[in-house]
Structure 1
Amino acid sequence: MTAAGSPPEASEPPPAPTEIDGRLLRTAFVLVLGTFMATLDATIVNVGIDTLAQEFRASVTEIQWVTTAYLLALLLAVPSSGWIVDRFGGRRTWISAVVLFLAGSLLCALAWSVESLVVFRVIQGLGGGLLPPVGQALVAREAGPKRIGRIISIVGVIPLLSPVIGPIVGGTILGVAGWPWLFYVNLPIGLVAVLLALRFVAPHPPAAQGAPFDVLGAALLPPGVAALVFGLTEVGNGRSLDFVPVLLGLVGGVVLLMAYAVHAVRMRGVPLIDLRLFTRPPFGAAASALIILGASVYGAVFLLPLYFQAGRGLTPFAAGLLLVPQGLGAALGSVVVNRTIDKVAPRTLVLTGIGLIALGTVLFTQLGSAPSDPLIIASLLVRGIGLGMIGAPVMNIVYSSMPHAQLPRASGALNLLNVLGGSIGTAVLAVVLQTRLEARAHRGEPGVALAFADTFWWTLAFCLVAVIGATRLPRRSAATE
């Protein structure tokens, strides 16, 4: 009881929920459905590249822009996601991104030339680039710091399955229908996702309607990242370093990124991607581990289907089936993380995951000895378990330590690093593979399997470098802090 005339005591805010309830599960699965759709589409289209080249009578150089254009659009969209969410609200941004992605998918299915297909893939990429960071930020807000690790470990495995399911779905579509269905398949998934989002995802008001957009940052960062990745991609496609567009891409990209770094540090307002986030523990350690792991993980996702098809003569469908154990391992790893993430230190989980990825990669450095399918399946299973043990702990320590207002921008920064690491890692491995194929062919060696084995040593090296960043992650679990 308070004394007469005295002001009532301020009531304490309700404690943050700690249990995973049905509402959170529904919200998380709806939001992750958008990410799954976008990543699945990228894999399906990669399977159909040869078919598209024949349909449009395009050269390899021309048709590779179907993939490159999507990637470059993705890199333009991700850095802007934080500001867009702050300005227009999370649910509205996410639904708009799905609609934009579906519009791009429909236009791609109706494309009449390779040039029109490339333009429509840019529209797809702009929508697809917003879905992962916006979805993650919304899940983090809904879950709160006590539940974010466990919910990510539950739903985070779904995007990991897309590189496994994609070749199977793409091969099946091309076996029974025409190439437009590579894009039509997105329409029912996206429409269901929009309807479920309107029903189950709570609207969040914009955080900063009056915040000015970082125009100079947008003119420096996305084009810089895109130019750098374009240059590396062209080198990976066999272009020489004395090829003018390659040099312009590499040098121009580095110059633009350096200029953005200076601008972001000096800017008084909120930059497109706040580089000061990387100086705050544990964000800096998590980011450094994430970018190197992105290079290793996505680089291997690029190499494995290519090896199964070019090195072992499998069809895309058969290659997809052989990758299934990696997806099953990722699901198993996520179960392990879900049960231990609040009890075991993030550093322990991530280092264990890196160790399993490295262990599962060793066999692929010995491809010259033609390992048997059971050994390959076992290695992929081990790799998958490692993959499932990394993402949730890293995102948990970042999102649980961030104020709600900073979640969209932190999510955008993490996703940009993940995409950047994966893009650069894939491009570097493509260069290494091309170089090793040419070197072994010049020496008259039976080069395909050995060249892939040489290249997988690089993915193993990426894992070892990632250990350096992972050792700086927190030593205590969330429950003991």
Structure 2
Amino acid sequence: MARTTIDTPGGGQSRVPAVPGEKVSGRTWLAVAAGMLGAFMAVLDIQITNSSLKDILGALSATQEEGSWIATAYLVAEIIVIPMTGLFVRVFGMRGYMMGTTALFLGFSTLCGFAWNLESMIVFRMLQGFTGGALIPMAMTLVMAKLPPSRRATGMAIFGLTATLAPSMGPTLGGYLSELYGWPSIFYINWVPGLLLIGGIAVGLDKEKTNLSLLYNADWLGIFCMAVGLGSLTIFLEEGNSKDWFDSAFINTFAALSVAGLLGWVVTGATRRQPFVNLGLYGQRNFAAATALSMAMGMGLYGSAFILPLFLAQIPGYSPMQIGEVIMWAGLPQLFIMPFVAKLSSKVDNRILCTFGLLLFGGSCMMNAYMDASTGYDQLLLSQIVRALGQPFVMLTLSNFAMNGIAPKDMPSASSLINMTRNLGGSIGIALLATALTNREHFHSARLGESVSSFALATQERLDVLSASFVGKGFDSATASDMALKAVDGIVRRESFVMAYNDGFFLVAMVLFACIGVLWFSDKVKAPSGGGGGAH
């Protein structure tokens, strides 16, 4: 394949393919497929511990609040490393960096399974996130760098699947593995895709010389500010609800650090001639619109994957495996719809396709905004399928908007920023929803409590019936009265939680619907003859 040399942000030069020919070799497709496997594995590991958290906390003798750091540590490290992938690719080459970071990821995944206490688990999860997070933007970079425009829609379709399937399949796979083989197996399973990834990259990509001198000349001040800003922001979002937000000195500290770090990153990026990632891309209208949509999509993807398992575990009392069987229906149909969307993307204005996808995705959340205590697998099946049909229309077209008109030298930066934004949107969405669930449950509990008072005739009649039932089972009248009160209180709390979950889904739906307005600020984009990114 012909190559050309270009200047890149961060110093030095990088060899990227000159405009690829229309014919794509089997080696190239193998490398792209391996990259997609890596992105799927990295996103999957964000969610995979959710189903098994109770078992993990029991084994590590940790509380629920302490256990939240198991997910937070991974997210913090992942979001810090994503913007740095462009620099590391220039230093180590695409082949060397992907193989090296995957090997480290597998090592740290294994150590997670051997963790002996909470502290060791948090450290290993952070290292796992730092090595695995790079695999997410690298998958998109592979598509843009190695495939010709006419083949990019296919590549972006597969990448879209990794971004939407993994959050859906994480709790499913985690639930099955934990129930069948114990919680350490959710970390050991990474060896299967990990070894396939290393093999595919080794065969599919050519060797490149390392350029360690770029590390000495890198924008380390900008990297430091970015790490402090994004890391502190993620901690602020992930831990804010459990620590009562700005009532906590801990949260206030990280809020201040996030603002200072992000401002420092912007200033260094604007004043340095060759920053490690090109923040100037946010000045391009299409990219800015795609970034806003990517953040909202992250809120929708991770938010819905956060609320529904909580509802199923708390209200109907589903096991991790049963929860997985419900959630998988938000993933499986995407395998069949994505090739169809990829073909449409070259024929239809992508704004129309994305609007259709947002309407379906938001509509599925609206369908979940009317659940009751008896809602289960059968009632949720249709909304999950509607969600699965809508997500590919959004993910594929978002990639086309983001990469439209991006110069080859800026592709690693664009890929890093768009994926970083989606993950950040997920953290924001989960933080907002966790807070909303808490506040709305208190609100509904107070409102229901006003109606279900001991002075209300209906409540008195219900208490009498329940007391009589408990007396009939052999309890004395005083105990029966207490049990009746607790039973009514339990019903009030259950219903207030159900209404809070409904409000959460309604909030996600409103965010997705609002994105339709933002979408139409972008230019008309079609994928050229089935490929990603040309404007027509």
User: Fold conserved (TM > 0.5)?
Assistant: yes
**Is the Cα–Cα contact under 8 Å of residues 346 and 527 in structure 2 kept in the other structure?**
yes
1:224 paired to 2:229: yes
Q: CA deviation at 1:76?
A: 1.6
Residue 269 of structure 2 corresponds to which residue in structure 1?
A: 264
1:19 Cα deviation (Å)?
6.0
Is 1:473–2:478 an aligned residue pair? no
Distance 1:465 1:220, change over 3 A: farther
Residue aligning to 2:238: 233
**What corresponds to 2:471 in structure 1?**
none
Measured in 2, the distance between the counterparts of 1:175 and 1:78 equals 32
Provide the C-alpha distance between the structure 2 equivalents of 1:14 and 1:85, rounded to a whole number of angstroms: 17
Question: Are the structure 2 counterparts of residues 154 and 134 from structure 1 closer, same or farther at C-alpha, using a change threshold of 3 Å?
Answer: closer
Letter matched to residue 259 of structure 1: G
| Alignment map for 1:66-465 (pairs within 5 Å) | 66-203=70-207, 210=214, 212-267=217-272, 269-368=273-372, 370-371=374-375, 373-443=377-447, 444=449, 445=492, 446-465=495-514
Structure-1 separation of matches of 2:67 and 2:269: 36
Q: Distance in 2 between matches of 1:403 and 1:101?
A: 31
Deviates more, 1:379-388 or 1:328-337: 328-337
Q: Do 1:329 and 1:382's aligned partners in 2 also have CA atoms closer than 8 Å?
A: no
> Which has the higher mean CA deviation after the structures are superposed, 369-378 or 400-409?
369-378
- Whether the 8 Å contact between 1:145 and 1:399 is mirrored in structure 2 is no
Structure 1 residues 355, 256: closer, same or farther in 2, change over 3 A?
Answer: same
Structure 1 window deviating more from structure 2 (331-340 vs 129-138): it is 331-340
8 Å contact 2:72–2:234 — kept in the other structure? no
**1:372/1:179 CA distance change after superposition, 3 Å:** closer
Give the match for residue 459 of structure 2: none
Rate the CA distance shift 1:90–1:399 in 2: closer, same or farther, 3 A.
farther
Distance in structure 2 (CA, Å) of the matches to 1:460 and 1:205: 48
- Give the Cα–Cα distance (whole angstroms) in 2 for the partners of residues 16 and 405 of structure 1: 15
* SS of equivalent residue, structure 1 residue 313: coil
Question: What CA deviation, in whole Å up to 9, does each residue of 1:406-435 have, x standing for no partner?
Answer: 211111111111111111111111111121
Note if 1:45 corresponds to 2:49: yes
Change (3 A) 1:440 1:14: closer
Residue deviations 1:357-384 (CA, integer Å, cap 9, x gap) = 1111111111248556444211111111
**SS in structure 2 at match of 1:405:** helix
The alignment's TM-score, normalised by the length of structure 1, stands at 0.91
- Letter of the aligned partner of 1:465 in structure 2? A
What is the percent sequence identity of the aligned residues? 27
RMSD of the alignment, in Å?
2.3
Take 1:166 and 1:139, find their aligned partners in 2: how far apart are those partners? 24
Structure 2 contact 47–170 (Cα < 8 Å) conserved: yes
Alignment partner, residue 8 of structure 1: none
Give the whole-Å Cα distance in 2 for the aligned partners of 1:187 and 1:14.
34
Change (3 A) 1:283 1:111: same
Which AA in structure 1 matches 2:423?
A: V
- Residues 47 and 15 (structure 1), Cα distance of their counterparts in 2 relative to 1, 3 Å cut: closer
Cα distance in 2 for residues equivalent to 1:181 and 1:236: 30
Displacement of 1:151 in angstroms is: 2.0
Q: Is the 8 A contact 1:27 1:139 kept in 2?
A: no
Contact 1:233 1:427 in 2 (8 A): yes
Give the distance between the partners of 1:96 and 1:420, measured in 2 at CA: 25
- Equivalences, count: 468
What residue identity is the alignment partner of 1:349? L
Q: Corresponding residue for 1:5? A: none
Given residue 224 of structure 2, which amino acid in structure 1 is its aligned partner?
A
Of stretches 120-129 and 33-42 in structure 1, the one that deviates more from structure 2 is 33-42
Rg larger in structure: 2
CA distance in 1, matches of 2:18, 2:258: 48
| Offset from partner CA, 1:322-376 (integer Å, 9 cap, x none) | 1122112322431221221111112111111111111111111112485564442
Deviation at 1:42, TM superposition (A): 2.6
Question: d(CA) in 2 for partners of 1:173 and 1:404?
Answer: 41
* 1:24, distance to aligned residue in structure 2 (A): 4.1
Distance (whole Å) between structure 1 residues aligned to residue 54 and residue 19 of structure 2: 55
How much has 1:194 moved relative to structure 2? 0.8
Pick closer, same or farther for the CA change 1:121–1:378 going to 2, 3 Å: same
Displacement of 1:240: 4.3
After superposition, give the CA deviation of every residue in 1:183-240 in whole Å (9 maximum; x if it has no partner). 1111232122212211123445679964831111112122112212211222222534
Amino acid in structure 1 at the alignment position of 2:96:
R
Q: Is the 8 A contact 1:105 1:186 kept in 2?
A: yes
| Aligned residue in 2 for 1:57 | 61
Distance 1:70 1:308 in 2: 25
Task: Return the alpha-carbon distance in structure 1 between the equivalents of residues 525 and 170 of structure 2.
Answer: 37
Runs of at least 5 residues in structure 1 that lack an aligned partner in the other structure: 1-12
Map 1:10-25 to 2 at 5 A. 16-18=20-22, 22-25=26-29
Instruction: Provide the secondary structure at the position in 2 that maps to 1:237.
Output: coil
Distance 1:300 1:152 in 2: 23
Query: 2:117, 2:378 → 1: CA distance?
Result: 43
Change in 2 beyond 3 A, CA 1:244/1:33: same
Displacement of 1:22: 4.0
Equivalent residues of 2:345, 2:397 under 8 A apart? yes
Alignment check: 8 A CA contact 1:238 1:431 kept? no
Q: 1:23 to 1:389 in 2, by over 3 A?
A: farther
Moved more, 126-135 or 152-161: 152-161
Residues of 2 paired with 1:15 and 1:111: CA distance?
47
Query: How far apart are the structure 2 equivalents of 1:341 and 1:206?
Result: 38
